[in-house]
Structure 1
């Protein structure tokens, strides 16, 4: 029989002051010793958009090393998981805080980046992070590709094509496709077709 282990985790709701609101993230503050397969299995079991595992940093300037997983894969970087993790670490007193602003560094799969934890009356009131500068990857230029994206979003051809802007993949650690849309009405009419 496999050895049973107990792992503590915390769920933080990011971008809200209300319980059960915002964007949830699971944080495992003591992940050293877990295998890659175990990390992925745990993230799949948590079934949140992201689960963060905290390790001892390999960079001496960093307060913690974070590995971020979705239910299906590890991702190099994401914003709300970093914010939620440092909020949890602050509440667990895993990082030394000053009144006002404490400046720290976090290590993730794309490098080491600054974090600010803002405190008022010994209470965390805000966590602020920096990201790498955006990297603009290949634009989507051919008419067929643009129409394919428009169809996938359920937009009529002019909704995407007549904007004078290119569809562009942009990354600050996690690539996303930016789709300029002509009107707010068109944005509100989007019904994605995942097929």
Structure 2
């Protein structure tokens, strides 16, 4: 019999029942892959993160992410949730400035953000961004998303972007149009699988909120999730896209505040910093978290 510590953490929020909930299993060294998948299915959250020893000299932990249906290479909000557990329950914030997590795609450093000695957020540096074209008619994409073709914002291209996994980024003119989206989930899942896309991410600069730079919404039926409330990976990929497509000035550092989850009554907020570097921009996605459940799972 195994007794496994398990946490339920709301990420990208400082209020319980907001943001995006993730499962965190911080002591997964004795678990098999099948047990990890079973735990993720049992918790039935969009993603559950599992931590165990890393063989890499440059990493503090190995981390894997499972949806209720399958393993994925990277998940932003589950990374934020895991780092929050390490900082608050395993005292990492008291003895070091950051941890480095080894994902399937590469190393992800996560640092603590403190005010007057109190942890207020954690910030992860995502993998270098890259973009790719998608050979699909924009009108067909709009139809799959349940929006009008006229809702698409033609100032910006529809593209795939990646800071860990691939996302399809769809520019939309208004927040109202994004909130009204009613995707054809089965057909959207089939299209995403053809391109190895994890999620389809709608975004707009027309946020109706002076405190937000961008408003987004994320659909991910290809990985067994209808909609994810607040997505660190997709919004990091969005920031990389904005930089690589020349929407952001490549000579300046940019601090973006992004809102998501409002359409699901789980509002959350991400702070994304884009810093120019010689070869590629550094994308840092930060947010706070709230532990809502902690306990033990018996296997």
Normalising by the smaller structure, the TM-score range is 0.7 to 0.9
Match of 1:57 among 54, 59, 73: 54
Higher-Rg structure is: 1
User: Does the 8 A contact of 2:93 with 2:112 survive in 1?
Assistant: no
Alignment of 1:151 with 2:146, yes or no, is no
Q: Which runs of 4+ in 1 moved over 4 A?
A: none
Measure, in 1, the Cα distance between the counterparts of 2:133 and 2:30.
39
TM-score (norm 1): 0.85
User: Does the 8 A contact of 1:152 with 1:193 survive in 2?
Assistant: yes
For structure 1, list consecutive stretches of 5 or more residues without a partner in the other structure: none
User: What are the within-5 Å matches in structure 2 for residues 129-148 of structure 1?
Assistant: 129-140=124-135, 142=136, 145-148=137-140
TM-score (norm 2): 0.57
Report the CA distance shift for 1:125/1:183 in structure 2 as closer, same or farther (over 3 A): closer
Aligned twin of 1:167:
158
Alignment of 1:103 with 2:69, yes or no, is no
Report the CA distance shift for 1:154/1:86 in structure 2 as closer, same or farther (over 3 A): same
Which structure is richer in relative contact order (CA contacts within 8 A, separation 6 or more)? 2
SS in 1 for 2:79: helix
Alignment of 1:21 with 2:22, yes or no, is no
Report the CA distance shift for 1:119/1:183 in structure 2 as closer, same or farther (over 3 A): closer
Q: C-alpha displacement at 1:121, in angstroms?
A: 5.7
Report the CA distance shift for 1:40/1:163 in structure 2 as closer, same or farther (over 3 A): same
Report the CA distance shift for 1:19/1:156 in structure 2 as closer, same or farther (over 3 A): closer
Measure, in 1, the Cα distance between the counterparts of 2:27 and 2:62.
11
Match of 2:82 among 58, 76, 85: 85
- Per-residue CA deviations over 1:158-181 (Å, capped at 9, x if unaligned) read 333x61433111111121111122
Provide the aligned length of Structure 1 versus Structure 2.
186
Measure, in 2, the Cα distance between the counterparts of 1:94 and 1:147.
51
Aligned twin of 2:173:
182
Q: C-alpha displacement at 1:71, in angstroms?
A: 0.6
User: Does the 8 A contact of 1:63 with 1:95 survive in 2?
Assistant: no
Measure, in 2, the Cα distance between the counterparts of 1:6 and 1:188.
42
